[in-house]
Amino acid sequence: MTLQLTMQSSELSSEELSTLQEMRVRCAKNILLSTSLAGSGHPGGSLSTLDNLLVTYGCMRHDASQPDLEERDRVIMSIGHVSPAVYAILAEYGYFTEADFLSGFRRTGSGFPGHVERIVPGVEWDTGNLGQGLSTAVGLAHGFKIQNRSNKVIVFMGDGEHQKGQIIEAIRYASKYKLDNLIVVIDRNHLQICGTTEEVMPQSIRSLYSTNNWDVKYLENGHDYNAYFQTFSEAYLKNDGVPTVIVSRTIMSKGISFMENIPKYHGSPLDRESLAKAMKELGVEDEFEKWDDLRKQPVATATIQQYRAPEVSVSGGEPILYEAGTMLDNRSAYGSALLGLAEANNHNNNMVIAGISCDLEGSVKMGGFHKHSPRAYMEAGIQEHHAATMAGGLASLGLVTFFSTFGAFAVSEVYNQNRLNDFNHASVKVVATHVGLDVGEDGPTHQCIDYLGLFRNYYRSSVFMPADPNQTDRIIRYIATVPGNVFVGMGRSKTPVITKEDGSVFFDSDYTFQAGKGDWLRTGTDATIVTYGAVVPAVMEAWEILKADGHSVGILNMGSLVPLDKDAVLQAVATGVVVTVEDHHVETGLGSMVATVVAEAGQGIAFKRLGVSQYGGSGKPADLYASQGLDAKSIAVATREMLE
Ligand SMILES: Cc1ncc(C[n+]2csc(CCOP(=O)(O)OP(=O)(O)O)c2C)c(N)n1
């Protein structure tokens, strides 16, 4: 069955009301059955949010036969645990069958996971980590505005969930950017896992929104279809620059007398006996045995929706060539490349490239981009958790989104936000302008030395580290033109343009960046130094020292760290001595990656890792490098020791 409600009507007809009632009974049955069959899951919140979800899908623009329809509105389930309600409703509206859902729910390999994931047709975003959904929705809503599209975004949230701090960041942001295409629906059942929301952590949810100038609607009975329909329609149809929140007073486990208002049912299914009782209350047949038998069959995977990146046509623009002898910080080269991308792609209000910074526009060199494309530049304030998540929402609409701040705030601070973008194939370009000891005087809290270790935990992200302004320029243009999540990091200092032995530019106009390809800056037969990023100039100097001593040493620069050029590593191994040098935690960086490649290839070589072996201090980068054995002299000494 499906239902299309007309939002221009003043109220629901009696037929519509009885259709909703019939749908509710079937959905409630499937919520209870699915969780009891799986022996786990969240029936309580599913039943309390069910009525609002049912009417929302009746009102919004969507088409079950085209889950990718461009014009569809987006529903983000910030409360990913109410998956039984979402799947029951999507089955009701025709995205798949009730049998698909009931036979697969929470089974390994099936298309119906415990928290909502976009492998389920009709689901827009993988969620489960509470507190992030509003930021994703804000990214989508802002993205639609930037793209001049009329799609709406509806986000379902819990009341306990509002204890998460990231939500207030998103609330402020939505108000600042006048996102009237955004509707928040809060399932205000006053319960969470460990009791009432007042006992666990009291707060006034409505005032969070009202003090930030949202349109706040309160429904005393959130299960009243007409009241919700009228409030939702009004929010959907308005166009006044103000986002809306509907705080819907609901009852946990609504509709099953012995489950209502009992916190235990937040996350506990009914046992067999109680399920039979509930089915009786609903007036439906008890089908537990039938489905339990069917669940003994091999799991079906036919409904699993493969991820498809939005089609975007992006020009890399005209590369900038920095001449030999130039000293420039890579972040300035980033700023110029970003401006070049904007000039090549953002025309006449048609925005392709977007940029976000967090009160560090000047430091991250986004000023030129901001001036050129003010519509696509977002100042998120000191709200990195929100900004990182929001970047995922924006990017998923096909806007090539650069999120820039210092490494400590773009990576370490928001590890889990980037992780969720990774799950969602969000295609965010995280460009951190200050990483490593090279940050210098600001000291260790600002020196991100874990970016590689952290990003390597994600399965769908790349890590690129430019060695000079030319490589920065090419990497930035490259990442704009290919889909995928990526991290690019750079130091703060001015750095020389890398040259070949004959003094000409190494990353010249014939050079194109390739993911998974290392660069042989120098070749040698006695040893190889494998390196990247801000320490490359020191390695080049060490090479001069070693050369003067009569040693033939190669330098392999890994502009691409994930994926890593394993063939080049094995070529380095052929020299018999390998030293890795990096401005990164020595235990979790390139050194460990190279060691793994070497060990897995069954090679025995002389091997040493140089890197950051303790938190840095506050001082000039050159002194900080020297203090941790990462200056040219120390690198030369360490390499020479290996040769002797
Ligand atoms: C960041 C995070 N912390 C903890 C959890 C575990 N958790 C799942 S649901 C939940 C309670 C949510 O309460 P509420 O938003 O009121 O949802 P309801 O109980 O009404 O379904 C918690 C703590 C989580 N999923 N994410």
Whole-Å CA distances, 252 to 18, 162, 258, 447: 22, 17, 11, 46
Same domain membership, residue 422 and residue 383: yes
Same domain membership, residue 480 and residue 365: yes
Same domain membership, residue 121 and residue 32: yes
Same domain membership, residue 207 and residue 94: yes
Residue that terminates a domain, selected from 249, 272, 294 = 294
In this structure, the number of other CB atoms found within 10 A of the CB of residue 286 comes to 16
Same domain membership, residue 283 and residue 331: no
Residues 328, 490, 358: CA angle, nearest 5 degrees: 105
Is there a domain that residue 89 lies in? yes
User: What's the CA-to-centroid distance between 200 and ligand 1, angstroms?
Assistant: 12
> Is pTM beyond 0.85 here?
yes
- Judge contact between 34 and 289, C-beta under 8 A: no
E-state strands within 358-406: 377-379, 400-405
**CATH number for 478:** 3.40.50.970
How large a percentage of the chain has pLDDT more than 90? 98
38-69 per-position pLDDT tens digit: 999 999 999 999 999 999 999 999 999 999 99
349-363 per-position pLDDT tens digit: 899 999 999 999 999
Give pLDDT, residue 254.
Answer: 98
Contacts of 295 (CB under 8 A, 6+ apart): 37, 103, 107
* Mean pLDDT, the chain, whole residue set: 97
Whether 127 is in the pocket of ligand 1, judged by its Cβ within 6 Å, is no
Same domain membership, residue 201 and residue 114: yes
Give the residue from 92, 101, 351, 161 showing the smallest Cα distance to 171: 161
- Residue 337 pLDDT > 80, yes or no? yes
Whether 81 is in the pocket of ligand 1, judged by its Cβ within 6 Å, is yes
Whether 128 is in the pocket of ligand 1, judged by its Cβ within 6 Å, is yes
- Judge contact between 294 and 285, C-beta under 8 A: no
Whether 591 is in the pocket of ligand 1, judged by its Cβ within 6 Å, is no
Is there a domain that residue 441 lies in? no
The whole-number average pLDDT for the span 559-573 is 98
What is the domain range of residue 263?
14-294
Same domain membership, residue 540 and residue 481: no
Same domain membership, residue 273 and residue 229: yes
Whole-Å CA distances, 595 to 228, 515, 558, 604, 607: 60, 20, 15, 10, 8
pLDDT class for 644, splitting at 50, 70, 90?
Answer: confident
Supply the angle between the helices 384-396 and 415-423 in degrees, to the nearest 10.
10
Same domain membership, residue 216 and residue 347: no
Give pLDDT, residue 46.
Answer: 98
User: Total structural domains in the chain?
Assistant: 3
145-200 per-position pLDDT tens digit: 999 999 999 999 999 999 999 999 999 999 999 999 999 999 999 999 999 999 99
pLDDT class for 636, splitting at 50, 70, 90?
Answer: very high
- Residue 617 pLDDT > 80, yes or no? yes
Whether 132 is in the pocket of ligand 1, judged by its Cβ within 6 Å, is no
pLDDT class for 309, splitting at 50, 70, 90?
Answer: confident
User: What's the CA-to-centroid distance between 52 and ligand 1, angstroms?
Assistant: 19
Ligand 1, closest atom to CA 189?
20
Same domain membership, residue 230 and residue 368: no
Same domain membership, residue 398 and residue 342: yes
Same domain membership, residue 331 and residue 243: no
Helices and strands in the chain, H and E counts: 23, 21
d(CA 596, CA 259): 53
- Residue 293 pLDDT > 80, yes or no? yes
Ligand 1, closest atom to CA 131?
1
Give pLDDT, residue 1.
Answer: 61
Whether 407 is in the pocket of ligand 1, judged by its Cβ within 6 Å, is no
**CATH number for 585:** 3.40.50.920
Give pLDDT, residue 150.
Answer: 98
User: What's the CA-to-centroid distance between 168 and ligand 1, angstroms?
Assistant: 17
Give pLDDT, residue 242.
Answer: 98
How large a percentage of the chain has pLDDT more than 70? 100
User: What's the CA-to-centroid distance between 48 and ligand 1, angstroms?
Assistant: 14
The whole-number average pLDDT for the span 60-85 is 97
Give pLDDT, residue 208.
Answer: 98
Whether 456 is in the pocket of ligand 1, judged by its Cβ within 6 Å, is no
Is there a domain that residue 347 lies in? yes
